[in-house]
Copies of this chain bind each other. A is one copy, B any other.
Amino acid sequence: MDQPDGAAPAQDRKAPATIYDIARHTGVSPSTVSRALNKPGRLNPETERRIREAAKELGYRINPMARALPTGKTGTLGLIVSDITNPVYFDLVRGAERVASEAGFTLVFADSQESSELEHTTAERLQSYVDGLLLVASRLDDRRIQELSSVKPVMMVNREVPGIPAVVPDVRPGITDALGRLRRLGHRRIAYLSGPQLSWLNGQRWQTLFELAVEWDMSIVEVKSTAPTREGGAEAFQRVKAAGVSAVFAYNDLVALGLLRECREHGIDVPGRLSIIGFDDIFGADLPTPALSSIKLPLAEIGGKAVRRLLAELDGTQGGTEIVLQTEFISRESVAEPQA
Protein backbone atom coordinates (compact mmCIF):
# COMPACT_ATOMS: atom_id res chain seq x y z
CA MET A 1 0.00 0.00 0.00
CA ASP A 2 1.50 3.28 -1.03
CA GLN A 3 -1.28 5.52 0.02
CA PRO A 4 -0.18 9.04 0.71
CA ASP A 5 -0.37 9.15 4.47
CA GLY A 6 -2.81 11.47 6.11
CA ALA A 7 -4.95 11.31 3.01
CA ALA A 8 -6.44 7.86 3.17
CA PRO A 9 -8.51 7.89 0.01
CA ALA A 10 -11.59 6.04 1.10
CA GLN A 11 -12.62 4.87 4.52
CA ASP A 12 -10.01 2.46 5.88
CA ARG A 13 -11.12 -1.09 5.74
CA LYS A 14 -10.66 -3.19 8.80
CA ALA A 15 -8.67 -6.34 8.19
CA PRO A 16 -10.95 -9.37 8.38
CA ALA A 17 -10.58 -11.81 11.25
CA THR A 18 -8.53 -14.96 10.69
CA ILE A 19 -8.43 -18.27 12.48
CA TYR A 20 -5.37 -16.93 14.27
CA ASP A 21 -7.44 -14.18 15.82
CA ILE A 22 -9.95 -16.73 16.97
CA ALA A 23 -7.20 -18.95 18.32
CA ARG A 24 -5.76 -16.12 20.36
CA HIS A 25 -9.18 -15.14 21.55
CA THR A 26 -10.03 -18.60 22.82
CA GLY A 27 -6.59 -19.75 23.87
CA VAL A 28 -6.32 -22.69 21.50
CA SER A 29 -4.14 -23.30 18.49
CA PRO A 30 -5.11 -22.31 14.96
CA SER A 31 -5.31 -25.90 13.88
CA THR A 32 -7.88 -26.50 16.55
CA VAL A 33 -9.92 -23.63 15.24
CA SER A 34 -9.72 -25.02 11.76
CA ARG A 35 -10.96 -28.37 12.98
CA ALA A 36 -13.69 -26.87 15.07
CA LEU A 37 -15.05 -25.16 12.00
CA ASN A 38 -14.61 -27.96 9.48
CA LYS A 39 -14.79 -31.25 11.29
CA PRO A 40 -17.71 -31.08 13.66
CA GLY A 41 -17.39 -33.78 16.34
CA ARG A 42 -13.65 -34.06 16.13
CA LEU A 43 -13.23 -31.80 19.14
CA ASN A 44 -14.59 -31.52 22.61
CA PRO A 45 -18.12 -30.15 22.18
CA GLU A 46 -17.46 -27.44 24.69
CA THR A 47 -14.30 -26.30 22.98
CA GLU A 48 -16.03 -26.36 19.66
CA ARG A 49 -18.83 -24.25 21.00
CA ARG A 50 -16.45 -21.68 22.40
CA ILE A 51 -14.60 -21.45 19.13
CA ARG A 52 -17.75 -21.12 17.09
CA GLU A 53 -18.93 -18.44 19.40
CA ALA A 54 -15.70 -16.50 19.13
CA ALA A 55 -15.84 -16.87 15.37
CA LYS A 56 -19.28 -15.37 15.27
CA GLU A 57 -18.31 -12.62 17.62
CA LEU A 58 -15.28 -11.62 15.60
CA GLY A 59 -17.28 -11.77 12.41
CA TYR A 60 -15.02 -14.43 11.02
CA ARG A 61 -15.41 -15.20 7.35
CA ILE A 62 -13.23 -17.86 5.84
CA ASN A 63 -10.71 -16.67 3.31
CA PRO A 64 -11.44 -18.75 0.24
CA MET A 65 -8.06 -18.02 -1.32
CA ALA A 66 -6.22 -19.23 1.70
CA ARG A 67 -8.29 -22.36 1.80
CA ALA A 68 -7.90 -22.96 -1.89
CA LEU A 69 -4.15 -23.08 -1.62
CA PRO A 70 -3.71 -26.29 0.34
CA THR A 71 -6.91 -27.95 -0.80
CA GLY A 72 -6.89 -26.99 -4.44
CA LYS A 73 -10.64 -26.42 -4.20
CA THR A 74 -12.01 -22.96 -4.77
CA GLY A 75 -15.70 -23.61 -4.28
CA THR A 76 -16.34 -21.96 -7.59
CA LEU A 77 -17.74 -23.07 -10.93
CA GLY A 78 -17.29 -21.36 -14.27
CA LEU A 79 -20.10 -20.95 -16.76
CA ILE A 80 -19.43 -19.86 -20.31
CA VAL A 81 -22.23 -19.10 -22.74
CA SER A 82 -21.92 -18.12 -26.35
CA ASP A 83 -23.90 -14.92 -26.11
CA ILE A 84 -25.23 -13.50 -22.93
CA THR A 85 -27.62 -11.17 -24.69
CA ASN A 86 -29.58 -14.12 -25.99
CA PRO A 87 -32.59 -14.45 -23.71
CA VAL A 88 -32.38 -18.17 -24.04
CA TYR A 89 -29.71 -18.23 -21.39
CA PHE A 90 -31.73 -16.54 -18.69
CA ASP A 91 -33.38 -19.53 -17.28
CA LEU A 92 -30.40 -21.70 -17.81
CA VAL A 93 -28.15 -19.36 -15.89
CA ARG A 94 -30.66 -18.95 -13.16
CA GLY A 95 -31.20 -22.69 -12.82
CA ALA A 96 -27.48 -23.20 -12.65
CA GLU A 97 -27.01 -20.41 -10.18
CA ARG A 98 -29.65 -21.74 -7.87
CA VAL A 99 -28.24 -25.22 -7.66
CA ALA A 100 -24.71 -23.95 -7.31
CA SER A 101 -25.45 -21.64 -4.45
CA GLU A 102 -27.52 -24.27 -2.70
CA ALA A 103 -24.45 -26.44 -2.75
CA GLY A 104 -22.39 -23.58 -1.38
CA PHE A 105 -20.68 -22.95 -4.67
CA THR A 106 -20.24 -19.66 -6.43
CA LEU A 107 -20.86 -19.31 -10.13
CA VAL A 108 -18.46 -17.33 -12.23
CA PHE A 109 -19.90 -16.33 -15.42
CA ALA A 110 -18.65 -15.19 -18.81
CA ASP A 111 -19.71 -14.96 -22.41
CA SER A 112 -17.71 -15.62 -25.51
CA GLN A 113 -19.61 -13.37 -27.92
CA GLU A 114 -20.00 -16.24 -30.36
CA SER A 115 -16.26 -16.23 -30.90
CA SER A 116 -14.45 -19.50 -30.65
CA GLU A 117 -11.18 -17.71 -30.01
CA LEU A 118 -12.55 -15.59 -27.22
CA GLU A 119 -14.22 -18.60 -25.73
CA HIS A 120 -10.92 -20.37 -25.54
CA THR A 121 -9.15 -17.48 -23.91
CA THR A 122 -11.95 -17.04 -21.42
CA ALA A 123 -12.08 -20.72 -20.61
CA GLU A 124 -8.38 -20.80 -19.89
CA ARG A 125 -8.54 -17.72 -17.76
CA LEU A 126 -11.47 -19.03 -15.80
CA GLN A 127 -9.97 -22.42 -15.33
CA SER A 128 -7.42 -21.25 -12.85
CA TYR A 129 -10.18 -19.79 -10.71
CA VAL A 130 -12.68 -22.56 -10.66
CA ASP A 131 -13.11 -26.18 -9.71
CA GLY A 132 -14.95 -27.00 -12.89
CA LEU A 133 -16.23 -25.50 -16.10
CA LEU A 134 -19.65 -25.52 -17.73
CA LEU A 135 -19.52 -24.93 -21.45
CA VAL A 136 -22.89 -24.01 -22.86
CA ALA A 137 -23.36 -24.48 -26.57
CA SER A 138 -19.63 -24.29 -26.98
CA ARG A 139 -18.15 -23.26 -30.30
CA LEU A 140 -14.79 -24.84 -29.52
CA ASP A 141 -13.59 -27.84 -31.41
CA ASP A 142 -13.49 -31.22 -29.75
CA ARG A 143 -9.74 -31.26 -29.31
CA ARG A 144 -9.65 -28.02 -27.41
CA ILE A 145 -12.44 -29.09 -25.17
CA GLN A 146 -10.62 -32.27 -24.41
CA GLU A 147 -7.53 -30.27 -23.59
CA LEU A 148 -9.49 -28.14 -21.20
CA SER A 149 -10.95 -31.19 -19.59
CA SER A 150 -7.50 -32.60 -19.00
CA VAL A 151 -6.83 -29.69 -16.68
CA LYS A 152 -10.07 -29.55 -14.72
CA PRO A 153 -13.48 -31.18 -15.04
CA VAL A 154 -15.58 -29.85 -17.88
CA MET A 155 -19.30 -30.30 -18.34
CA MET A 156 -20.90 -29.77 -21.70
CA VAL A 157 -24.34 -28.26 -22.00
CA ASN A 158 -26.30 -28.40 -25.25
CA ARG A 159 -23.47 -30.12 -27.00
CA GLU A 160 -21.87 -33.51 -27.13
CA VAL A 161 -18.18 -34.23 -27.26
CA PRO A 162 -16.71 -37.72 -27.11
CA GLY A 163 -15.47 -38.53 -23.65
CA ILE A 164 -16.89 -35.44 -22.00
CA PRO A 165 -19.95 -35.60 -19.77
CA ALA A 166 -22.89 -33.62 -21.02
CA VAL A 167 -26.41 -32.48 -20.40
CA VAL A 168 -28.33 -32.11 -23.61
CA PRO A 169 -31.89 -31.82 -24.80
CA ASP A 170 -33.51 -34.43 -26.94
CA VAL A 171 -34.90 -32.31 -29.73
CA ARG A 172 -36.90 -35.16 -31.16
CA PRO A 173 -40.15 -34.99 -29.18
CA GLY A 174 -40.65 -31.30 -29.81
CA ILE A 175 -39.76 -31.52 -33.47
CA THR A 176 -41.90 -34.57 -34.00
CA ASP A 177 -44.86 -32.84 -32.49
CA ALA A 178 -44.30 -29.65 -34.46
CA LEU A 179 -43.64 -31.29 -37.77
CA GLY A 180 -46.56 -33.62 -37.26
CA ARG A 181 -48.79 -30.66 -36.70
CA LEU A 182 -47.57 -29.00 -39.87
CA ARG A 183 -48.13 -32.15 -41.80
CA ARG A 184 -51.65 -32.57 -40.56
CA LEU A 185 -52.35 -28.97 -41.49
CA GLY A 186 -51.34 -29.79 -45.01
CA HIS A 187 -47.78 -28.51 -45.27
CA ARG A 188 -45.62 -30.56 -47.59
CA ARG A 189 -42.65 -28.38 -48.34
CA ILE A 190 -40.69 -26.83 -45.50
CA ALA A 191 -37.41 -25.07 -44.89
CA TYR A 192 -34.92 -24.96 -42.07
CA LEU A 193 -33.32 -21.58 -41.56
CA SER A 194 -30.09 -22.78 -40.07
CA GLY A 195 -27.75 -21.42 -37.42
CA PRO A 196 -24.00 -21.42 -36.78
CA GLN A 197 -22.22 -24.35 -38.34
CA LEU A 198 -20.29 -24.82 -35.14
CA SER A 199 -23.42 -25.18 -33.09
CA TRP A 200 -24.10 -28.74 -32.09
CA LEU A 201 -27.74 -27.97 -31.51
CA ASN A 202 -28.00 -26.58 -35.00
CA GLY A 203 -26.80 -29.90 -36.31
CA GLN A 204 -29.22 -31.82 -34.13
CA ARG A 205 -32.13 -29.73 -35.23
CA TRP A 206 -31.39 -30.02 -38.89
CA GLN A 207 -30.63 -33.73 -38.69
CA THR A 208 -33.79 -34.55 -36.86
CA LEU A 209 -35.96 -32.39 -39.06
CA PHE A 210 -34.38 -33.89 -42.11
CA GLU A 211 -34.87 -37.48 -41.02
CA LEU A 212 -38.45 -36.94 -40.00
CA ALA A 213 -39.31 -35.02 -43.13
CA VAL A 214 -37.89 -37.76 -45.28
CA GLU A 215 -39.68 -40.39 -43.29
CA TRP A 216 -42.96 -38.55 -43.66
CA ASP A 217 -42.40 -37.82 -47.26
CA MET A 218 -42.20 -34.07 -46.94
CA SER A 219 -39.65 -32.05 -48.82
CA ILE A 220 -37.17 -29.99 -46.85
CA VAL A 221 -34.44 -27.49 -47.70
CA GLU A 222 -31.79 -25.77 -45.66
CA VAL A 223 -31.55 -22.01 -45.89
CA LYS A 224 -28.47 -20.51 -44.30
CA SER A 225 -28.62 -17.53 -42.02
CA THR A 226 -25.72 -15.22 -41.47
CA ALA A 227 -26.05 -14.86 -37.73
CA PRO A 228 -28.18 -16.41 -34.98
CA THR A 229 -29.81 -13.06 -34.23
CA ARG A 230 -32.86 -11.08 -35.20
CA GLU A 231 -30.78 -9.34 -37.81
CA GLY A 232 -29.72 -12.67 -39.21
CA GLY A 233 -33.32 -13.74 -39.48
CA ALA A 234 -34.39 -10.56 -41.18
CA GLU A 235 -31.52 -10.76 -43.56
CA ALA A 236 -32.53 -14.26 -44.65
CA PHE A 237 -36.03 -13.18 -45.60
CA GLN A 238 -35.54 -13.08 -49.34
CA ARG A 239 -33.90 -16.47 -49.40
CA VAL A 240 -36.68 -18.01 -47.38
CA LYS A 241 -39.26 -16.44 -49.63
CA ALA A 242 -37.45 -17.66 -52.71
CA ALA A 243 -37.38 -21.19 -51.35
CA GLY A 244 -41.07 -21.43 -52.01
CA VAL A 245 -42.02 -23.29 -48.88
CA SER A 246 -45.16 -23.03 -46.81
CA ALA A 247 -43.49 -23.36 -43.44
CA VAL A 248 -40.10 -22.69 -41.94
CA PHE A 249 -38.29 -23.78 -38.82
CA ALA A 250 -35.71 -21.28 -37.64
CA TYR A 251 -32.56 -22.20 -35.75
CA ASN A 252 -33.75 -20.25 -32.76
CA ASP A 253 -36.37 -17.76 -31.71
CA LEU A 254 -34.19 -14.75 -32.34
CA VAL A 255 -33.82 -15.73 -35.97
CA ALA A 256 -37.51 -16.58 -36.15
CA LEU A 257 -38.44 -13.24 -34.65
CA GLY A 258 -36.29 -11.40 -37.14
CA LEU A 259 -37.82 -13.30 -40.02
CA LEU A 260 -41.32 -12.78 -38.70
CA ARG A 261 -40.84 -9.06 -38.46
CA GLU A 262 -39.43 -8.88 -41.93
CA CYS A 263 -42.34 -10.84 -43.32
CA ARG A 264 -44.70 -8.39 -41.81
CA GLU A 265 -42.79 -5.51 -43.22
CA HIS A 266 -42.94 -7.01 -46.68
CA GLY A 267 -46.60 -7.83 -46.43
CA ILE A 268 -46.12 -11.56 -46.30
CA ASP A 269 -48.94 -13.01 -44.28
CA VAL A 270 -47.87 -15.15 -41.36
CA PRO A 271 -49.18 -17.74 -40.83
CA GLY A 272 -51.39 -17.60 -43.96
CA ARG A 273 -48.65 -17.65 -46.50
CA LEU A 274 -45.84 -18.86 -44.28
CA SER A 275 -45.87 -20.68 -40.97
CA ILE A 276 -42.92 -20.00 -38.70
CA ILE A 277 -41.60 -22.07 -35.85
CA GLY A 278 -38.66 -21.16 -33.67
CA PHE A 279 -36.63 -22.97 -31.09
CA ASP A 280 -36.06 -22.27 -27.39
CA ASP A 281 -39.27 -20.44 -26.52
CA ILE A 282 -37.41 -17.45 -25.22
CA PHE A 283 -38.75 -14.45 -23.42
CA GLY A 284 -40.72 -12.43 -25.91
CA ALA A 285 -41.70 -15.25 -28.24
CA ASP A 286 -45.33 -14.65 -27.31
CA LEU A 287 -45.15 -10.89 -27.82
CA PRO A 288 -45.46 -10.32 -31.54
CA THR A 289 -48.59 -10.62 -33.58
CA PRO A 290 -48.83 -13.36 -34.57
CA ALA A 291 -47.25 -14.90 -31.50
CA LEU A 292 -44.37 -17.17 -32.33
CA SER A 293 -44.67 -20.93 -32.03
CA SER A 294 -41.58 -22.52 -30.63
CA ILE A 295 -39.98 -25.71 -29.49
CA LYS A 296 -39.16 -25.26 -25.88
CA LEU A 297 -36.10 -26.43 -24.02
CA PRO A 298 -36.32 -27.03 -20.30
CA LEU A 299 -33.56 -24.52 -19.74
CA ALA A 300 -33.73 -24.05 -16.03
CA GLU A 301 -33.69 -27.77 -15.57
CA ILE A 302 -30.79 -28.16 -17.94
CA GLY A 303 -28.79 -25.58 -16.05
CA GLY A 304 -29.59 -27.12 -12.71
CA LYS A 305 -28.84 -30.65 -13.81
CA ALA A 306 -25.60 -29.62 -15.42
CA VAL A 307 -24.35 -28.07 -12.23
CA ARG A 308 -25.47 -31.00 -10.14
CA ARG A 309 -23.71 -33.35 -12.46
CA LEU A 310 -20.53 -31.33 -12.46
CA LEU A 311 -20.61 -31.21 -8.70
CA ALA A 312 -20.95 -34.98 -8.63
CA GLU A 313 -18.02 -35.23 -10.99
CA LEU A 314 -15.99 -33.12 -8.62
CA ASP A 315 -16.22 -35.52 -5.75
CA GLY A 316 -15.81 -38.59 -7.85
CA THR A 317 -19.44 -39.65 -7.70
CA GLN A 318 -19.70 -39.44 -11.40
CA GLY A 319 -23.11 -39.89 -12.91
CA GLY A 320 -21.50 -41.73 -15.79
CA THR A 321 -23.89 -41.45 -18.64
CA GLU A 322 -25.11 -38.36 -20.27
CA ILE A 323 -28.29 -36.67 -19.22
CA VAL A 324 -30.97 -36.00 -21.76
CA LEU A 325 -33.98 -33.79 -21.26
CA GLN A 326 -37.13 -33.57 -23.30
CA THR A 327 -38.33 -30.75 -25.50
CA GLU A 328 -41.87 -29.62 -26.11
CA PHE A 329 -43.72 -27.89 -28.90
CA ILE A 330 -45.42 -24.68 -27.86
CA SER A 331 -48.07 -23.88 -30.39
CA ARG A 332 -48.98 -20.25 -30.94
CA GLU A 333 -50.41 -18.15 -33.72
CA SER A 334 -47.58 -18.34 -36.22
CA VAL A 335 -48.68 -21.75 -37.42
CA ALA A 336 -51.74 -22.44 -39.53
CA GLU A 337 -52.77 -24.40 -42.58
CA PRO A 338 -51.15 -23.24 -45.78
CA GLN A 339 -53.10 -21.02 -48.12
CA ALA A 340 -54.41 -22.89 -51.08
Contact = CB atoms under 8 A, between A and B. Distances in A.
Contacts of A14: 150-151
Given A93-B84, A107-B110, A289-B289, A10 B283 contact: no
Interface stretch (A29-37, A63-71, A213-221): A63-71
Nearest to A86: B90
Interface in A80-134: 84-85, 87, 90-91, 93-94, 97, 101, 106-111, 122, 124-129
Contacts of A85: 90-91, 94, 283
A91 B65 CA distance: 31
A200 B84 CA distance: 26
Contacts of A84: 90, 93-94, 97
A122 B101 contact: yes
Number of copies: 2
Q: What band does the interface of chain A fall in when counting residues whose beta carbon is under 8 Å from B?
A: 35 or more
Nearest to A93: B84
Contacts of A69: 65-66, 69
A272 B16 CA distance: 60
Contact of A128 (B63, B97, B284): B63
A9 B287 CA distance: 48
A106 B126 contact: yes
Contact of A318 (B10, B63, B87, B318): B10
B287 A318 contact: no
Nearest to A71: B65
A150 B15 CA distance: 10
A74 B128 CA distance: 12
Nearest to A59: B151
Contact of A151 (B16, B284, B287): B16
Contact of A129 (B11, B64, B101, B149): B64
B110 A97 contact: yes
A267 interface: no
Given A97-B110, A97-B111, A128 B11 contact: no
A56 interface: no
A84 B76 CA distance: 19
Contacts of A109: 107-109
21 contacts: A9-B318, A10-B153, A13-B150, A16-B128, A61-B124, A61-B127, A64-B129, A65-B65, A76-B108, A87-B90, A87-B283, A94-B111, A101-B110, A106-B108, A106-B110, A106-B125, A106-B126, A108-B108, A283-B284, A284-B287, A287-B288
Which 5 pairs, one residue from A and one from B, show the smallest C-beta to C-beta distance? A284-B284, A65-B68, A287-B287, A109-B109, A289-B289
Interface of A: 3, 9-11, 13-14, 16, 61-66, 68-69, 74, 76, 84-85, 87, 90-91, 93-94, 97, 101, 106-111, 122, 124-129, 149-153, 257, 261, 283-284, 287-289, 313, 316, 318
